[in-house]
Amino acid sequence: MTTGDGAELAGTDAHGFQVPRLLRAAEVLCADGRVLRGRVFLPASAEAHPGAMRAEEWMNDPASFVPFLPDGEGRPVILNKHQMTVVTVAASADRDEALEQAGVPVRRVRVECGSLSLEGEVLVDMPANHSRTLDLLNRPGAFLNVREGDRHHLVCKSRITRVSEPAADAPRPRP
């Protein structure tokens, strides 16, 4: 079954009631270097806002293990979040309309996890006195959302080895 936005909806099974979930395409780079392509199961509703739970919220949830449906396989597997380096999803799976409407400033960053380097923007959705990149990295949550065009890279903070910013970059309002 699909929803109006093209996401697949996972329903109930013979084992009893389950919370409806949306299947969203994702690529997972594991700590051991393996790359898994498939679908993540995002809750179809969120507690804090209308609509589905965003991928960033889901990855920063305190649960250590998450289901993942690898492409070409009929049954999901369980992945350990602490063994994920980067989870990449479509920006549409992580859309936050409230932040977009508020014009939250963004900062351009380069994030390195060993030899892997990602460039993109991070939202500076914190008070002015806590708006440094360092503050974003030290805030609660295990994953940093690095936005690169139509993709969002959810980077495990404990796997980050270095973060840098272009020298002339300053927070600017998001268009």
95 burial (CB, 10 Å; 0-12 / 13-18 / 19+) is middle
User: How many angstroms from the chain centroid is the CA of residue 13?
Assistant: 27
The domain tally of the chain equals 2
Residues 77 and 122 reside in one and the same domain = no
Structural domain span for residue 126: 97-168
- pTM reported for the whole predicted model: 0.79
pLDDT band at 2 (very low <50, low <70, confident <90, very high): very low
Question: Which residue in the block uniquely carries the two structure tokens 């289901």?
Answer: 67
Does any domain span residue 173? Answer: no
Mean of pLDDT values over 127-145: 86
- pLDDT tens-place string over residues 10-34: 554 445 556 678 889 999 999 999 9
Q: Could you please report the per-residue DSSP string of 3-47?
A: -TTS-EEE--BTTB----EEEEEEEEEETTS-EEEEEEEEESS-S
Domain final residue pick, 61, 84, 107:
84
Give yes or no: residues 23 and 75 share one domain. yes
- What distance in Å separates the CA atoms of residue 44 and residue 66, rounded to the nearest whole number? 15
Q: What is the pLDDT of residues 152-169, one digit of tens each?
A: 999 999 999 999 997 755
